[in-house]
């Protein structure tokens, strides 16, 4: 640090506003240009530079600069710009996570709602079936029985089981087609 920089530092430490303002006016335009090259927005660049000067004035009594003013100020602008960019990146990441979570929750809710509606359609359709057809369908689809087992258990022919299963499946198919048209 040269003699001139040391003298400026000592005056600022003592609260000399004139020296501080001269330092500000001398470096401010170049620092803004540099900050803008980093953050890509004029308003943000000006805020970054103003924060650097604000912190210098706020901490003037404890200020310890071992390099020249120019190096110190531009390094401060760089550091503040990087902090700003990290903050923005983090906020964007959080916003994106929130949006993804909302989308996933919405999709999950829609899927659950559609599944409940589909269950209701199936239950309603099965309730409309004749008792014997509903019983045969339930034994096959819910209990996992084969057509032959159902026929033996109910003392009916396998052809009767097949015919009733055909009726049940046709009724379900028609109900599901209607459901899809309205969904």
The Cα-based distances of 72 to 66, 77, 85, 135, 143 in angstroms read 8, 9, 20, 86, 80
Task: Assign residue 112 the CATH number of its domain.
Answer: 1.10.10.10
Q: Are residues 23 and 58 in the same domain?
A: yes
Q: Can you give the CATH number for the domain in which 7 is found?
A: 1.10.1740.10
Instruction: Residue 88: name the closest of 59, 116, 27, 47 by CA.
Output: 47
Same domain assignment for residues 80 and 13:
yes
Q: Is 179 left (phi over 0), alpha (psi -120 to 50) or beta?
A: alpha
Residues 142 and 170 in one domain: yes
Same domain membership, residue 18 and residue 75: yes
Eight-class DSSP state of 142? T
Looking at residue 108, what is its pLDDT?
66
124 with 86, same domain: the answer is no
- Tracing tokens 């803008």 back to the chain, one arrives at 36
Q: What is the pLDDT of residue 183?
A: 62
Domain end residue (candidates: 95, 116, 149): 95
Query: What Rg do the C-alpha atoms of the chain give, in angstroms?
Result: 39
Identify whether residues 59 and 109 lie together within a single domain: no
Instruction: Say how far apart CA 176 and CA 124 lie, in whole Å.
Output: 11
Q: What percent of the chain has pLDDT over 90?
A: 55
Token pair recorded at residue 137 = 């369908």
Between 165 and 181, whose confidence is greater?
165
Closest among 53, 46, 60, 177 to 121, alpha carbons compared:
177
Please give the tally of structural domains in the chain. 2
Q: What is the pTM of this model?
A: 0.51
pLDDT band for 14, please (50, 70, 90 cuts): very high
What's the mean per-residue pLDDT of the chain? 88
User: In which domain, by residue range, is 112 found?
Assistant: 97-182
Summarised one tens digit per residue, pLDDT across range 116-145 is: 887 788 888 888 999 999 999 889 988 899
Q: Tokens 């949006």 — which residue? A: 99
Q: Which residue has the tokens 């303002």?
A: 21
- Residue 107's pLDDT is 64
């Amino acid at each position: 640090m040269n003699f001139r920089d040391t003298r400026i530092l000592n005056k600022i430490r003592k609260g000399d506003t004139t020296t501080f303002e001269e330092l500000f006016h001398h470096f401010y335009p170049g620092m803004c240009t540099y900050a803008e090259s980093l953050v890509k927005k004029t308003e943000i660049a000006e805020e970054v530079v103003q924060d650097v000067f604000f912190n210098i004035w706020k901490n003037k009594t404890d200020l310890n600069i071992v390099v020249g003013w120019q190096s110190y100020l531009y390094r401060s602008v760089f550091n503040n710009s990087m902090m700003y960019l990290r903050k923005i990146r983090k906020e964007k990441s959080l916003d994106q996570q929130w949006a993804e979570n909302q989308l996933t929750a919405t999709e999950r809710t829609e899927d659950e709602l559609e599944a409940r509606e589909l269950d209701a359609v199936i239950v309603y359709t099965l309730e409309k079936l004749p008792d014997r057809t509903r019983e045969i369908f339930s034994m096959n689809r819910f209990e996992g029985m084969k057509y032959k087992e159902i026929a033996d258990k109910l003392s009916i022919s396998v052809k009767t089981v097949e015919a009733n299963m055909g009726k049940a499946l046709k009724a379900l198919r028609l109900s599901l087609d209607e459901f899809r048209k309205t969904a």
